[in-house]
Amino acid sequence: MIVLIGPMGSGKTTVGRLVAERLGTAVRDTDHDVEAAAGREISEIFVDEGEAAFRALERAAVAEALATHDGVLALGGGAVLDPETRDLLVGHDVVFLRVGLSDAVKRVGLGTSRPLLLGNVRGRIKTLLDERTPVYESVATLAVETDGREPQEIADEIVAALGARA
């Protein structure tokens, strides 16, 4: 299994789909799993129940996906903040899609509906990058720069790097 991690705007879903296509395997996104299990969008979960409730759903979705999925898995940006999730990632190929502030803001957009970005979007993204990057780096077995690059190029780099390890 290949697990993609990184902040919002790093391209986990898009790159994950491309990596899966190149490897002839399935792709799964735990944000989509959470929404399917809850029957509503993540932003609604945040508003109605709060971040802690969302994180509990996310933790369960990641654990289930790691136990049952055998392809490419894209995790939500904050999933690796959970120590149990970090423990479950040990032994997997974990790819950190590194993105800088400028590219993240361009990709996410300033008029975003993401619950953690309410208010000053650029400032919130910077704070999240500063807080989360060391955690991403601590669990990653491979880090790939995404700034200024096309998703196809990033997917090719991941497949080549992981193929060289096999």
Neighbours of 159 (CB within 10 A): 16
Residues 6+ apart with CB under 8 A from 78: 55, 58, 116, 132
Tokens of 113: 């509906």
Residues annotated as binding site? 9-14, 31, 55, 77, 114, 132, 149
Binding residues for Mg(2+): 13
Q: Can you name the residues that pair with 142 across neighbouring β-strands?
A: 95
In angstroms, what is the C-alpha Rg of the chain?
Answer: 15
Q: Which of 96, 91, 117, 115 is nearest to 105 (CA)?
A: 117
**Residues annotated as binding site for substrate?**
31, 55, 77, 132
Distances, alpha carbon 72 to alpha carbons 26, 44, 84, 99, in Å:
6, 27, 20, 20
Binding residues for ATP, by number, are: 9-14, 114, 149
